[in-house]
Amino acid sequence: MLKQDCRYQRSPIFHLFICVVLLFMSFFSVLCITADTLIRITDDWRYALGNEILQAEHGVDWYLPDYPDTHWPQASGGFVGGANALQQATRLRDFGLEHDAVCFRTTFEVADPAAIHDLVLRLQFKHGIILWLNGQPILNVGFGNEPASETGLSTQALQRPDNVFELLTLNEAIGFLQQGTNTLAAQVHRSVAQNAFAFVLELSANFSRQAMVHHVSPTQALISWQTPRPTSGQVHYGLVRGNLQHSVNYEPLTNEPEVMLESLQPGCTYHYQVSAKTSTGTVRSALASFSTPDDEDTSLRFSLLGDSGGGSAVQYRLAEQIRLTASDLVMHTGDMVYPSLVPELVDLRYYSIYGPHMRSVPYYVATGNHDLDRGRSMPSELFHRPTNDTSAAEHVAARTFPESYYTVRHGPAQFFVLLAPFFNQYALTENNPQHLWLKKVLRASTSPWKFIVLHHPIRTSSLHRFDDYNRNLKRDADELRDLLMPLMKEHGVQMIFSGHDHVYERFQPVDGTVNIITAGGGGSLYPLREYDVLSARFLSQYHFVHVDIEGNTCRLDAIDDAGHVFDSFVMQRDVVPVSSHASVWHSPLVEEGGAGDADGNLLNQRFDFNGAPLVASMGRYSHAGTVRVHNDADHLYLGFESLALPDDGAVILFMGQANTQHVDGATGLAFLDHLEFEDWQPQLIGVLGDEFADGTYPAFDRSRSGFMGPQGVFHAGETLTPVQGTRIQQYNLSPQAYTPSLKNTHLSEQNANFVEIAIPWESVPAWNPNEPLRLSVLSGRQPSSDRGAFWSFDHSLIGGRHSQSDPNRIILPGLVLEMAKGPDSDGDGLSDPEESSLETNSNELDTDGDGLPDGWEVTHALSPLRDFLSDGSEGDPDHDGHSNLDEWLANTHPRDPKSRLSLRAEIVEPGVIQIQWQGMPGVTYELQSSFSPQGPYVAIQTPETSKNKTNRPYLLKCHLDAFQNGARFFRIGARRVAD
């Protein structure tokens, strides 16, 4: 490979040329085909009760394609009605004794009927059914020998058992398909003996289950799919869509093959397609893609859910919300299928619902108790999971399988998925094979982030709190916790996720590990049974959990089926020294007055602090959360989020300003004897964390702990003197809600998750709002109501560290807070006060009109008031031949001739080149190619930088097709998004 790295030319689009010589290679051509799934079980249907059709004007031809059905109601499949114990997404409550049938209609698209060799129907119904495709009857079951044309809507069908599912191939109906829109109609009948019906349908082309990606590593990916009968064929894959240069053959051994793709590149997106040979030709799956992880990645997004498999509408909505999170992988805490995991239900309850997402994103599942109801081999037979290295003999003795428990490394995180469904058969015990395996893989792990996923919780406040299935007079949750907690502490496991109790619950950290129950994925919700002493948030709420890792910081959000975040928690893996932080000019709403409900909160109050937070280090038993700092001309604002405190705990806040007089001696609290302030002393002290304390109180009843303690913001001094005019709001949810679904969130609980503080500048006259402040935050425990008693402090700190010589002593150098100097009305990077002092226009992005923002010019030592010579758009102060305007567009430095936007190209596999460059947020890049340095150049890809998660430069990659022998030249263009 020859490479020429040239500087871009003076132009609004900057050019770089790279010459690459490659041999022309053949590749698999991707054909446009019909989608694998024509009708999903989650799709909407129009429906009407049979007697309504009989009375309707157009009732006789209701199943024809041109029947006007817009007046029919519409709902998601599947359907049930009448005296029916089955659960589905839509229950027709109007189906009564006077009804004998329900009629359904929906449409689907077919691009090319000739491409369909198998028409596959997955169906559950009771008790009789007739299907019509484009007005032609294609299925008639439950009426003896009576033809469809003679089966009226008042006919009652033969009795059919519950939970009977069928997978049918209706190839005789392929001739009725037409290009474009097709209409499928169904009439479903009750039986003579039972006034009930059920109807669940999925229609597919060629594949009975679409191709999906399963466990993915930096160099491998497992692909599986299902066909009506065993076939042979190939899986084609490659880095370039439409250029699938690699293939793996498979043989007709099963109708559900799985193929491992090998020798993949880490951190790349691969496209894949399955081709299968049938008796009538070759069929191809829809083109899909997946991304391989890279162990060097520092960011990761993943979602978790549990106890989902009821086929309910809320399960459908949660599946869609999970898809919208752009997760890199999804974890399931178990109970994927209700009432039991069986082959007939696994598609309708699992694969058909999450399948569209699973085409690109791997799902990993833990085994739940309902997943074993119909046999211990069911999970291994029905899911495609990684395996462990426990010996076959040990598995036989323990009644487990290689897939029963496993570990997955994905980027910066490693997941340890355990088998813990219940304790009467599968108790995880000391030094059993699974426990020994877990100790071994935890010891070997080098991942910075470690998570355990299992079904049975180690703590719970819900229905399974007192379970003792192995009848040893010890709660199952306690038994499991005692076994796992020492390992999690020893190896630094940050979080453990479980299911089983159908709620969301987050607990206080224990030895640095946060315990989460996420089991509101679609099954019936459970109530509170007894409040656990360490519970920080309990909600009987349908939900999933989304986790976003960015370097050293991890954020967890609990999200409901409408996409609303109802709980959040942010933690740092390691202490990251931060010496300074910039406040943001903002005036968040901090309400006045006390609580507006019985839970110590104001309804609908909202946390509207923004900007980058300061994140406390994780404590052993508490977390001081995150802090955001704002200021305006009248107030200093502090916003805390993600607090996690024990009942006798509090967050302690210290603030001061250098060279300001302070009061020596006691502060009315004894904890200062444990603290050492480096080169400063606090003038204000805050004690926070009780959601009922929306103000400043020298003595406040912390009822759960049984003692009186301070809450609020005080002047440092011999007595606890409140800071006058300070507004404080402490609450749980943002927006704060109190609805029937949240009615049990406040029971025996009063610790705040959010704290908002507004301190008037005039109440601290010694402070100069134009000078920096010092800030330290830590969490601790008050042992009694005696203010002379020493507090114990945790390891959760901001602006502090524990002494190496004395573990009970904390050193607080304080973090320097730079106050914001005013708003930036025009968004040019200069505050309005700065613009006033510079005599630039605070309402004009570019005061001198030279095309360069004022803030950019000031940052790079150019004048924002002069549009000529070296300060203008045509100036070139570093004499590199490129104007200031060019440098601004490329995000390079106008005073550094070595600053450049450059391309790098390499051959990552035969016939595929990877071109990469350093990108900046807010800039759109256009990659162009030509066979001559002089052009003409043709645009080949334009990545959008708005997908970048951070405000830092990041790497952009582009994979290109193979091309013919000879040289190809590339150039990159940069343009600000605003342009």
Question: Helix %, strand %, coil % for the chain, to 5?
Answer: 15, 35, 50
What is the distance between the alpha carbons of residues 910 and 712, in angstroms, rounded to a whole number? 66
Tokens (6 digits) for 477: 């949750």
Best CA proximity match to 649, nearest among 749, 520, 532: 749
What is the distance between the alpha carbons of residues 389 and 825, in angstroms, rounded to a whole number? 61
Q: How far is CA 965 from the centre of its chain?
A: 44
Cα–Cα distance list, 85 to 128, 196, 371 (Å): 17, 9, 20
What radius of gyration, in Å, describes the C-alpha atoms of the chain?
Answer: 32
The predicted-structure confidence for 319-351, as pLDDT tens digits, reads as follows: 999 999 999 999 999 999 999 999 989 999 999
Tell me what pLDDT residue 578 has: 80
Tell me what pLDDT residue 562 has: 92
Whether 685 and 656 have beta carbons less than 8 Å apart is answered as no
Phi, psi of 44 (to 5 degrees): -80, 145
Strands 258-261 and 269-278: unpaired
Cβ atoms within 10 Å of 503's Cβ, excluding its own: 27
Best CA proximity match to 754, nearest among 671, 706, 693, 697: 693
Which residues, at least 6 apart from 668, have a Cβ–Cβ distance to it below 8 Å?
Answer: 698, 710, 714, 717, 718, 719, 720, 787
What is the distance between the alpha carbons of residues 101 and 82, in angstroms, rounded to a whole number? 11
Tell me what pLDDT residue 803 has: 84
HEC string of 243-277?
A: EECEEEEECCCCCCCEEEECCCCCCCEEEEEEEEE
What is the distance between the alpha carbons of residues 358 and 323, in angstroms, rounded to a whole number? 9
Tokens (6 digits) for 737: 């809600």
Tell me what pLDDT residue 600 has: 66
Tell me what pLDDT residue 866 has: 87
What is the distance between the alpha carbons of residues 517 and 502, in angstroms, rounded to a whole number? 8
Whether 671 and 651 have beta carbons less than 8 Å apart is answered as no
Q: How far is CA 340 from the centre of its chain?
A: 28
Cβ burial, residue 904 (10 Å; 0-12/13-18/19+): middle
Cβ atoms within 10 Å of 804's Cβ, excluding its own: 8
DSSP 949: S
Tokens (6 digits) for 525: 């919700």
DSSP SS3 for 671: helix
Cα–Cα distance list, 543 to 14, 319, 366, 743 (Å): 47, 10, 18, 16
Whether 248 and 259 have beta carbons less than 8 Å apart is answered as yes
Whether 793 and 806 have beta carbons less than 8 Å apart is answered as no
What is the distance between the alpha carbons of residues 217 and 637, in angstroms, rounded to a whole number? 45
Tokens (6 digits) for 29: 């051509």
Cβ atoms within 10 Å of 100's Cβ, excluding its own: 24
Tokens (6 digits) for 203: 């229609």
CA triple 282-283-285, angle to 5 deg: 145
The predicted-structure confidence for 264-290, as pLDDT tens digits, reads as follows: 999 999 999 999 998 888 999 999 999
What is the distance between the alpha carbons of residues 761 and 746, in angstroms, rounded to a whole number? 35
- Mean pLDDT per block of 10 residues along the chain (979 residues) reads 29 39 37 71 93 62 92 94 86 87 96 95 94 96 88 90 86 97 96 92 96 96 96 95 92 92 96 93 94 96 96 96 96 95 93 96 97 92 95 94 97 98 83 96 98 98 92 92 97 98 96 97 94 91 97 95 93 84 90 69 81 91 94 94 90 85 50 81 92 87 71 88 94 66 52 93 91 93 70 88 84 92 80 82 89 87 86 89 83 82 73 70 74 82 44 53 66 66
Summary count for the chain: helices (H), strands (E): 11, 58
DSSP SS3 for 615: strand
Strands 754-760 and 580-582: unpaired
Tell me what pLDDT residue 12 has: 34
Cβ atoms within 10 Å of 699's Cβ, excluding its own: 12
Cα–Cα distance list, 759 to 534, 686, 689, 728, 756 (Å): 32, 11, 17, 9, 10
What is the distance between the alpha carbons of residues 487 and 474, in angstroms, rounded to a whole number? 20
Whether 63 and 135 have beta carbons less than 8 Å apart is answered as yes
CA triple 630-636-642, angle to 5 deg: 55
- In terms of phi and psi (left: phi > 0; alpha: psi -120 to 50; beta: otherwise), the region of 164 is beta
Whether 806 and 800 have beta carbons less than 8 Å apart is answered as no
Phi, psi of 442 (to 5 degrees): -65, -40
Strands 44-49 and 101-110: antiparallel
Best CA proximity match to 745, nearest among 732, 755, 735: 732
HEC string of 527-581?
A: CCCCCCCCEEEEECCCCEEEEEEECCEEEEEEECCCCCEEEEEEEECCCCCCCEE
Tell me what pLDDT residue 833 has: 78
For the four alpha carbons of 385, 390, 393 and 395, in that order, the dihedral sign comes to: negative
DSSP 159: P
Whether 655 and 646 have beta carbons less than 8 Å apart is answered as no
Strands 967-976 and 20-21: antiparallel
What is the distance between the alpha carbons of residues 513 and 571, in angstroms, rounded to a whole number? 10
Which residues, at least 6 apart from 424, have a Cβ–Cβ distance to it below 8 Å?
Answer: 469, 470, 471
Euclidean distance between the first and the last CA atom of the chain, given in angstroms as a whole number? 35
